Amino acid sequence: MLKIAVLISGGGTNLQALIDAIESREIAGKIEVVISSKEDAYGLVRAKNHGISTSVLKIDKLLGKAARDRALMQLLLDYQVDLVILAGYLGILSEEIIKEYSNRIINIHPSLIPSFSGRSFYGVRVHREAIIRGVKLSGATVHFVNEVTDGGPIILQEAIAVDFEDDEVSLQKKVLNIEHRLLVKAVRLYSEGRLEVIDNRVKIH
């Protein structure tokens, strides 16, 4: 059975979607640990409610990011994780982790990559920029993580219409609904061994 680590920084609704899909046996896997970059992330409560181990890894002012990344790598190794899922995780992973878990880290991004993606696009900012630009379509993307932020092989995308009446909050809500479905589907496909990466593209078998 697939051993999964989920990394979060916030509310954890995507984490909840994964927990529900595992409990209903839609995904054959087990979340071994939920790791948060913030100690007050509500996703930690969700994990505890379901008896899942949790860990908080913040950047220590003195020791810096490298120490946090080493601790993160050690945790993933300790739990013998097969798959890492970034579900609203705000940190950038170290090159060592990305290399060690090549094509085994999945991220969910709340836009149609490559639109509104990259280092400066996270959280509600993504939706604000989409509204300001007046795009008629937005959506969500699930992709493997490589060394380019939001640049890894795309697994799944789904679009939704942006209405003139939408604002960043309503658009975020619409997109989150898609995210939950898309992330579960991608992890299911991965757990079934149906994803193959060929030249930065994903073939679904």
Q: Which of 84, 108 has the CB closer to ligand GRF?
A: 108
CB of 185 to ligand GRF, least distance (A): 15
Residue whose Cβ sits closest to ligand GRF? 88
- Residue (110 or 152) nearer to ligand GRF, CB: 110
| Active site positions, annotated | 109
Residue 50 CB, shortest distance to ligand GRF, in Å, is: 15
**3-class SS at 167?**
coil
Lookup: tokens for 71: 């601790």
Cβ proximity of 96 and 65 under 8 Å: no
Stretch that binds ligand GRF, among 22-30, 105-113, 145-153, 154-162 (CB under 6 A): 105-113
Whether the CB-CB separation of 107 and 26 falls below 8 Å is answered with: no
Q: Which residues pair with 35 in a beta bridge?
A: 7, 55
The minimum distance between CB 181 and ligand GRF, in angstroms, equals: 13
- What is the pattern of x (binds ligand GRF, CB under 6 A) and - over residues 23-52? --------------------x---------
Binding ligand GRF by CB under 6 A: which of 100, 176, 177, 181?
176
Helix and strand numbers (H, E) in the chain are 6, 9
130 in helix, strand or coil? Answer: helix
CA distances from 128 to 61, 90, 110, 132, 133 (A): 31, 17, 12, 6, 9
Chain residues that interact with ligand GRF, rule: CB under 6 A: 8, 10-15, 43, 87-88, 108-110, 176, 179
